[in-house]
Amino acid sequence: MTLAPSVRVALAASRTVATGVLAEKWIPRDPACVASVRRFAYDTATDWAVADDIPDVAALLVSELATNAFTHVPMAGPVRITLAREAELLIVEVHDPSTEIPRVTASADLAAESGRGLTIVHNLAHNWGWTLTPTGKCVWFDLLAWPTGGTRQEGAAESG
């Protein structure tokens, strides 16, 4: 989904932190923990029987957000990862103690080692944004994980 920056800001400002969290993990601010974050998102999405590619996409995107929290937040304190379901959407949130607003880099240098994480999130997520919280901020994305329309039900006869 591609939205103009002003629309993204309005969406980010209007979304509240997900309620009904079904999985949560607190992690020390250590880049070595990114693999643990990926496994957590992948395993949780798989356990919830999401659409085929969603565990891989969720793992990739949460690792980008966690890496940002570990490397760009100058404050100490753990990072909180949550996964929730709202209708057909898998909501993934990364909470950190900073109130610095995330920014998508306009044109990331392909040779650079960093600077493309939010662009990847922007391009692969159904939607994404940020919300300021009493303890910092929450950067979130959602994925269409349980599509309801236009799918063939298991066991339905095929015509042919």
The reported pLDDT for the residue numbered 11 is: 47
The reported pLDDT for the residue numbered 113 is: 62
For the chain (length 160 residues), average pLDDT per consecutive 10? 42 55 88 93 96 97 94 81 95 93 72 76 95 94 85 36
Residue 154: exposed, middle, or buried by beta-carbon count in 10 A (0-12, 13-18, 19+)? exposed
Q: How does pLDDT run across 33-43, given as a tens digit for each residue?
A: 999 999 999 99
The predicted model scores a pTM of 0.78
Taking the domains of the chain in order of start, what are their residue ranges? Answer: 5-144
142 DSSP β-pair partners: 91, 127
The reported pLDDT for the residue numbered 70 is: 87
Phi, psi (deg, nearest 5) at residue 49 = 55, 50
The reported pLDDT for the residue numbered 154 is: 37
The reported pLDDT for the residue numbered 150 is: 43
Assign domain 5-144 to a CATH class: alpha beta
